C-alpha cells in the first residue's frame, strides 16, 4: 500500500540521517579549562629625587580686562621669583587658566554681577631640597593658589618593571604552593591585573600657604611604591 511505502521511505531517510550523524560525530560541549588564581605583591622604598608643585595666582577686579592685567603682572613676578629660586624655564608649564564672572547671591531673588575672576596655575618640577624655598619665594611674589605637592623618583618606570617582575614571581610561587601534593603543573597565564599605589601627594586649598612670609617646612622623606597583581593560570 501507498502508506506502507511512505513509512518505509521515512525509515530509510532516518537511517541515512543517523549514519551521517555517526560519520560526522556528535557535537560535545567544549572542555572547560581548569585554572588556579593567585595574588602577588611587591614594594620598594625610595628617596624622591623630583618634586612636582601645582600653584598659581587668582585675581579679582570689576572688569575682566583689569582682572587679567593684574593676573599677568603678578604671574610675571612669580615666574621671576621661581627662576631666582632655582627653577628652570623648561620645568614650568601652565596647567590651567580660567576666566569667570563673579556673582552675589545674597539677595535670594536674583544673582548680581560683582566683577570678574582670573585664575592661572602652573606645574613646576624641581628638586625636593628647594621646595620650601620655592614656596616662600612664590608666596612673597603673590601666589595665592597652592593645589598640591608630590614627590617622585626619576627612574619610576625602571622601578615599576622590577616590582612587576617580583610580584609575578610571588604570585607564581603562591599558585605552585596550592598545587603541592597534586599532579598538576602551571600552564599558560590566562589573565593579569595590576593595582599600583604610591607615591604620596600633599594637597592644599585655594588659599593654600599664600601670604606667609615664614619658611614653610617641606620634607620629601622616604616614599613607597607598591603593586598587587592578580594572576590566573591554566592547569596542566
- The structural domains of the chain, with segments of one domain joined by +, span 45-158+194-232
> Please, which residues have CB within 8 angstroms of residue 136's CB and are 6 or more apart in sequence?
213, 214, 215, 216
126 contacts 91 by C-beta, under 8 angstroms: yes
185-213 pLDDT, tens digit per residue, is: 999 999 999 999 977 665 554 344 444 44
Q: What is the pLDDT of residue 7?
A: 41
**Domain 45-158+194-232 belongs to what topology?**
Alpha-Beta Plaits (3.30.70)
Beta bridge partners of 43: 226
> In the chain, which residues have pLDDT < 50?
1-25, 205-214
The pLDDT, as a whole number, for residue 30 is 53
Per-residue pLDDT, 6: 42
Task: Say what the pLDDT of residue 28 is.
Answer: 53
**37-50 confidence digits (pLDDT tens):** 999 999 999 889 99
Q: Identify any residues that bridge with 102 across adjacent strands, giving them in sequence order.
A: 115
Q: Which of 96, 126, 101, 130 is nearest to 113 (CA)?
A: 101
Torsional class of 86: left (φ above 0), alpha (ψ -120 to 50), beta (otherwise):
left
Query: For residue 199, what pLDDT is reported?
Result: 72
Amino acid at each position: 500500500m501507498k502508506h506502507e511505502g511512505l513509512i518505509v521511505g521515512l525509515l530509510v531517510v532516518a537511517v541515512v540521517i543517523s549514519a551521517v550523524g555517526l560519520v560526522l560525530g556528535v557535537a560535545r560541549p567544549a572542555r572547560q579549562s581548569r585554572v588556579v588564581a593567585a595574588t602577588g605583591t611587591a614594594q620598594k622604598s625610595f628617596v624622591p629625587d623630583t618634586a612636582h608643585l601645582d600653584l598659581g595666582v587668582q585675581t579679582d577686579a570689576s572688569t575682566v580686562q583689569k582682572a587679567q592685567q593684574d593676573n599677568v603682572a603678578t604671574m610675571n613676578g612669580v615666574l621671576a621669583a621661581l627662576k631666582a629660586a632655582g627653577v628652570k624655564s623648561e620645568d614650568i608649564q601652565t596647567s590651567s587658566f580660567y576666566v569667570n564672572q563673579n556673582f552675589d547671591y545674597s539677595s535670594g531673588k536674583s544673582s548680581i554681577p560683582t566683577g570678574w575672576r582670573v585664575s592661572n596655575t602652573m606645574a613646576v618640577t624641581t628638586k625636593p631640597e628647594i621646595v620650601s624655598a620655592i614656596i616662600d619665594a612664590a608666596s612673597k611674589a603673590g601666589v595665592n593658589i597652592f593645589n598640591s605637592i608630590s614627590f617622585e623618583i626619576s627612574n619610576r618606570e625602571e622601578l615599576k618593571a622590577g616590582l612587576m617582575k617580583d610580584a609575578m614571581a610571588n604570585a607564581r610561587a603562591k599558585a605552585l604552593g596550592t598545587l603541592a601534593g597534586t599532579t598538576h603543573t602551571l600552564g599558560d597565564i590566562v589573565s593579569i591585573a595590576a593595582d599600583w599605589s604610591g607615591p604620596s601627594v600633599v594637597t592644599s586649598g585655594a588659599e593654600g600657604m599664600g601670604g606667609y612670609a615664614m619658611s614653610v617646612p617641606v620634607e620629601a622623606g622616604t616614599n613607597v611604591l607598591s603593586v598587587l597583581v592578580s594572576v590566573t593560570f591554566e592547569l596542566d
